[in-house]
Structure 1
C-alpha cells in the first residue's frame, strides 16, 4: 500500500475514525487511547467530543502539560492513507505506573481490521521507535498476547528481544488479563 503516512491526531479524520471503530466490534483499539474519551465522558461519535479527545492526545505530548492522575505523558501517531484512518501507535514517555511496567509497556499500537496484513503495524511501531529515540529513551518495553503471532513478529522485526512470557496466573489477578503475555525490550542506542 503506497501513500501511507504517520501523522499527529486530527479532528478532520472524525468520519474515518468512526468507521474504523465499527470494525473493532467492541474490542479495545490498541494504541488509540480511546480510554481517555471514556474517562472524560466524551462520545467519540460526537464531533465536538472527538475534537476534545484529539486535543488531549496532542496535549499529552507537550512537556508542560500535566497528564490526568494515573497516566503519563505520551505521543500518539495515526497511520493514514489519504483521508482514511488506518490505525494508531502510542508511545508512553515513561513506565510510570504498575500497569505500564508489567503489562502496557512503552508502546501500544493497533491497525484497523480491514487494513491488516499490509505490514502497517511495522510502520506504526517504527515511527514510535523514532519518537522514543528523539526523546532520548535508551530502550523501550513492548508486550503482546502470547497468541498474537503477528504482533510478536512485528516487534521482533523491529529489534524486539523476548524477555519473558508471563503466565496469566501472574498478571491476570492484578490486571484482568486472560492470556499469557510476551514481554519484549528494544534497545534504541
Structure 2
C-alpha cells in the first residue's frame, strides 16, 4: 500500500469519487465544495462536468481567478491513496458574508465514510493549516455541528480552542440551521 497523498483535485479520480459519493448516501460532503458544481447545474456523474468542476476548484486556489458571485477563493486538497479518493479539505481565504463568518468558517473537511477512524481528518487539517500559514493567515475559524464529536476532537487535537456553541435559536432564523454549531479558532 502506498502512502496517503494530499493533492489538488484531479479528474483522473472520477470513478473513485463516484464510489465515495455513494457512501455519503446523499449527505453533504463537507470540504468537497460540491455546492460549486450545483451552482452551475453540473452533473458530477458526467466526466465532462466533473472535469469542469475539478478545473474550477483548482482555479479558485489562484487569487487572480475571480470566484463566482457570493463565493471566495479557496485552496482544495484531495486525500488519495492507491488511486482512491478518500476525502477533501478546503481553506477559504476570506470570510466575505455572514454565513461564512458565523457558520462556514475558513476550513471545511470531510472523510469518506469507509476511511474514517484512520486519523485522515487530522492529517488533512494539519496540511491545510500549513497552507494557511504560508498565506500569512494569523488564525482560522472552523465550525462543526455540536453532535459531530469526531470533528470536534480533530479540531481540538490540531490546536482548536472552542469559542462557543451557537444554539439553534440563534442560527435558525438567519441560516436555517437545525443543529447547534461549535465555533473553534486555531492560532497560526
What TM-score, normalized to structure 1? Answer: 0.98
Q: Secondary structure at the match of 1:35?
A: helix
SS of 2:45 mapped into structure 1: coil
Is 1:70–2:59 an aligned residue pair?
no
Q: Give distance in 2, aligned partners of 1:154 and 1:87.
A: 15
* Distance (Å, rounded) in 1 between the aligned partners of 2:4 and 2:15: 18
Q: Deviations over 1:61-97 (max 9, x none)?
A: 1121011000111000001112000000010001111
Deviation at 1:174, TM superposition (A): 1.2
1:2 Cα shift?
A: 6.0
After TM superposition, the runs of 4+ consecutive aligned structure 1 residues lying more than 6 A away are: none
The whole-number CA distance in structure 1 between the counterparts of 2:62 and 2:145 is 31
What is the alpha-carbon distance in structure 2 between the residues aligned to residue 117 and residue 16 of structure 1?
Answer: 19
Give secondary structure in 1 for the equivalent of 2:127.
helix
Unaligned 5+ runs, structure 1: none
Give SS of 1:17's match: helix
DSSP-derived class of the 2:13 partner: helix
SS of the aligned residue for 1:55 comes to helix
Map of 2:61 onto structure 1: 61
Supply the distance in 2 between the matched residues of 1:112 and 1:177 (Cα, whole angstroms).
Answer: 23
- Provide the secondary structure at the position in 1 that maps to 2:89: strand
Within 5 Å, which residues of 2 pair with 1:49-128?
A: 49-128=49-128
Evaluate the alpha carbon distance shift between residue 42 and residue 138 of structure 1 in structure 2; reply closer, same or farther with a 3 A threshold: same
Give the paired residue count.
188
Which deviations, in whole Å up to 9, do the C-alpha atoms of 1:5-63 show, x marking residues without a partner? Answer: 10000000000000000110011000000011111011000001000000000010112
* Secondary structure at the counterpart of residue 184 of structure 1: strand
For 2:112 and 2:176, locate their aligned partners in 1 and report how far apart those are by CA, in whole Å.
24
Aligned to 1:42: 42
Instruction: Tell me the equivalent position of 1:171.
Output: 171
Q: Which residue of structure 2 aligns with residue 140 of structure 1?
A: 140
Could you tell me how far apart the structure 1 residues matched to 2:173 and 2:17 are? Answer: 33
Question: Are 2:2 and 2:82, in contact at CA under 8 Å, matched by a contact in 1?
Answer: no
Measured against aligned partners, the alpha-carbon deviations of 1:126-147 in whole angstroms (never above 9, x if no partner) come to: 1110110011000000001111
CA 1:19–1:187: 2 relative to 1, 3 Å: same
